[in-house]
Amino acid sequence: MLRPADLYRAVPQPARQAHPDETEFRNFIVWLEDQKIRHYKIEDRGNLRNIPSSGWPKSFEQYLQDVNCPFTVEERQESVDWLLGLAVRLEYGDNVEKYKNCPPATATEAAKPSDPLIHLDSSNPDFKAGVLGLASLLKIQRHDDYLVMLKAIRILIQERLTPEAIAKASQSKEGLPVALDKHILGFDTGDATLNEAAQILRLLHIEELRDLQTRINEAIVAVQAVIADPKTDHRLGKVGR
């Protein structure tokens, strides 16, 4: 399908820069009408093409009304965005077969998004209060620079609180399957479900005891590494220091 980026690449380079001057802006509007929108007949485009004319703003205002644009001449950025959208729709309508099988835009085709934190007003009291509230909630250390705190909050959320991070953290290591019927409980509760639950609790308890025994053994080994090399003092007739 036709993408706005396709039409954007076809726009003359100077006109892409948010109409840096009046002449470029007018040329851009004329280019859209001549090449894409084509709302007027060719012979009716004279006033719009008369770029140096002092009456061009009136012609542009009339043009916006004729194409049913909901924005006024003063709302330039909004009217440009609307005209681009109209141009995309018309271009696609004229070339449906050409554009309907177009592959979707890839990440490499799109411009890298800028860091949204750059455009924040860190001196705004509401912004400061919001950052402090989040930092307190997430137990993040306070910093004199509120943008630094906000970046820390973003990193924590990305690494710990995204659905992927939560799913990864909640994953437990799977052990070997255990056949409960091969383990004798030693008593009978009179209910098969309770018996199974008791067997599971006993196995979990045994696992905890094994882990505790492993830690005790590690502690014993560590102590032996310190005391297992006694020195013999023949003068005292005993083993020790």
**More confident of the two residues 110 and 192:** 192
Give residue 237's pLDDT: 54
Contacts (Cβ under 8 Å, ≥6 apart) of 15: 24, 25, 27, 28, 31
Q: Does the model's pTM come out above 0.75?
A: no
d(CA 20, CA 76): 12
**More confident of the two residues 30 and 227:** 30
Give residue 52's pLDDT: 92
Give residue 15's pLDDT: 43
pLDDT-based confidence at residue 200 (cuts at 50, 70, 90):
confident
User: Which of 18-27, 50-59, 207-216 shows the highest mean pLDDT?
Assistant: 50-59
Q: Is the pLDDT of residue 164 over 80?
A: no
Mean pLDDT of 193-219: 85
Q: Is the pLDDT of residue 139 over 60?
A: yes
- Single-letter residue type at 135: A
d(CA 179, CA 89): 65
Q: Is the pLDDT of residue 236 over 60?
A: no
User: Which of 133-142, 163-172, 216-225 shows the highest mean pLDDT?
Assistant: 133-142
Assess contact for 199 and 185: CB atoms under 8 A: yes
3-state SS, the chain, equals CCCHHHHHHHCCHHHHCCCCCHHHHHHHHHHHHHHHHCCCCHHHCHHHHCCCCCCHHHHHHHHHHHCCCCCCCCCHHHHHHHHHHHHHHHHHHHCHHHHCCCCCCCCCCCCCCCCHHHHCCCCCHHHHHHHHHHHHHCCCCCCCCHHHHHHHHHHHHHHHHCHHHHHHHHCCCCCCCCCHHHCCCCCCCCCHHHHHHHHHHHHHHHHHHHHHHHHHHHHHHHHHHHHCCCCEECCCCEECC
Q: For 141-151, what is each residue's pLDDT tens digit?
A: 777 788 888 88
Q: For 93-137, what is each residue's pLDDT tens digit?
A: 878 777 777 776 554 544 555 666 667 777 888 888 888 888 888
Give residue 67's pLDDT: 93
Which one, of 56, 9, 69, 2, lies nearest residue 30 by Cα?
Answer: 56
